[in-house]
């Protein structure tokens, strides 16, 4: 069994996605923990067939679910990799993980993976979707879930991090091929964002990450958010639309 890192995966009715993810990491011979929130399909059975350890926790939101996972999964390795069920580890990223040794990264506390997002079988390259760096691998007990966010979830790691630009996570939610599912999902997400916006109007906005333009990808996002929150609320949609669709070539 891999003594360097373990995987944690969140699931809820992921029988479409879970087999391809587990197959993509099977050669890494690492312990897999699955935190399920009450699947009614074959998700749990699939996890058991692949030798994963199953935990259950009722779902509230993604930040709190990850917080539960990191506090309750009996991880025994120095590193942990947290993945979504609709992601796949590419062969290039797998090679990096196969060569990964803790002693070679003694100064690091976290590693960002580069994600490619797909919709209906097509890579979404423009509009700010690529490159897109996600903090997915970090030292267990040091990295934690940012529970100050209801929607825009991320992990936080104090100390030095590194960005792996080559080797990718591929992400495609096959459920979104059903457009009604896609619309319902984004309606739920927009409600969460609106709720958080109201809370920020009532209380000072706090960020778990230290804002820094020249910092890590998450610290850079925090820097932009600090400015964003100071802009007039009704100006933001026009700026956001123009940035994503025009300057980041989302029109393509």
CB 40 within 8 A of CB 62: no
Among 46-50, 58-62, 79-83, 204-208, name the one with the lowest average pLDDT: 204-208
Is 190 in the same domain as 67?
no
Segments forming the whole domain that contains residue 223? 178-247
Give yes or no: residues 185 and 87 share one domain: no
Q: Which of 219, 197, 209, 211 is nearest to 150 (CA)?
A: 197
166 with 206, same domain?
no
| 252: in domain | no
At residue 94, the 3 state secondary structure works out as: helix
Stated as kind and residue range, the H or E segment containing 117 is strand 110-119
pLDDT of 152 higher than 80: no
Q: Which of 154, 175, 196 is the C-terminal boundary of a domain?
A: 175
How wide is the angle at C-alpha 227 spanned by C-alphas 83 and 131, nearest 5°? 35
Q: Looking at the structure, tell me whether residues 171 and 56 fall in a common domain.
A: yes
What CATH number has the domain bearing residue 77? 3.90.550.10
In a domain, 189, yes or no: yes
Which has more pLDDT, 234 or 76? 76
In a domain, 135, yes or no: yes
Tell me, yes or no, whether 128 lies in a domain: yes
Are residues 215 and 203 both part of a single domain? yes
pLDDT on residue 153 = 85
pLDDT 10s digits, 64-80: 999 999 999 999 999 99
Closest Cα to residue 35, out of 2, 94, 3, 75?
75
In a domain, 118, yes or no: yes
* 127/26 same-domain check: yes
Contacts 24+ apart (CB under 8 A), 96-103: 96/164, 96/166, 96/167, 97/5, 97/28, 98/27, 98/28, 100/4, 100/5, 101/4, 102/4, 102/78
Q: Residue 194's beta-bridge partner residues? A: none
Residue 81 near residue 8, CB atoms below 8 Å: yes
Please tell me the predicted confidence (pLDDT) of residue 209: 85
Report the pLDDT averaged over residues 229-252: 93
Each residue of 76-93: pLDDT tens digit?
A: 999 999 999 999 999 999
Mean predicted lDDT score pLDDT of the chain: 95
3-state secondary structure 139-190: ECCCCEECCCCCCCCCEECCCCEEEEEEEEEEECCHHHHCHHHHHHHHHHHH
Which pLDDT band, with edges at 50, 70 and 90, does 4 fall under? very high
- For residue 19, pLDDT over 90 is answered with yes
pLDDT at 205 over 70: no
Per-residue tokens: 109: 């506390």
Task: Answer yes or no: is pLDDT of 54 > 80.
Answer: yes
Number of domains in the chain: 2
Are 207 and 160 within one domain?
Answer: no
Is there a single domain that holds both residue 103 and residue 115? yes
Split at pLDDT 50, 70, 90, the class of 34 is very high
Closest alpha carbon to 156 in 109, 197, 208, 114: 208
Q: How far is CA 33 from the centre of its chain?
A: 16
Give the single-character DSSP code of 153.
-
| 217 and 107 together in one domain | no
Kindly state whether residues 46 and 170 are assigned to the same domain: yes
């Amino acid at each position: 069994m891999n003594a360097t890192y373990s995987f944690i995966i969140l699931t809820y009715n992921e029988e479409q996605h879970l087999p391809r993810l587990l197959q993509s990491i099977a050669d890494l011979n690492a312990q897999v923990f699955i935190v399920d929130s009450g699947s009614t399909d074959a998700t749990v059975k699939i996890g058991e067939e692949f030798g994963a350890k199953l935990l259950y926790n009722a779902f509230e939101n993604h930040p709190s679910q990850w917080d539960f996972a990191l506090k309750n999964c009996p991880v025994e390795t120095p590193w942990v990799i947290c993945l979504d069920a609709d992601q796949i580890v590419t062969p290039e990223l797998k090679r990096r993980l196969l060569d990964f040794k803790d002693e070679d990264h003694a100064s690091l506390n976290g590693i960002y993976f580069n994600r490619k997002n797909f919709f209906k079988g097509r890579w979404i390259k423009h509009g700010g979707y690529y490159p897109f760096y996600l903090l997915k691998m970090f030292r267990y007990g040091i990295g934690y879930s940012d529970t100050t966010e209801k929607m825009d979830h991320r992990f936080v790691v104090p100390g030095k991090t590194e960005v792996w630009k080559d080797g990718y996570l591929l992400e495609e939610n096959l459920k979104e091929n059903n457009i009604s599912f896609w619309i319902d999902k984004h309606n739920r997400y927009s409600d969460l964002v609106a709720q958080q916006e109201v809370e920020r109007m009532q209380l000072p906005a706090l960020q778990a990450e230290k804002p820094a333009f020249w910092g890590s990808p998450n610290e850079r996002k925090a820097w932009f958010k600090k400015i964003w929150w100071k802009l007039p609320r009704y100006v933001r949609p026009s700026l956001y639309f123009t940035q994503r669709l025009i300057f980041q070539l989302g029109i393509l």
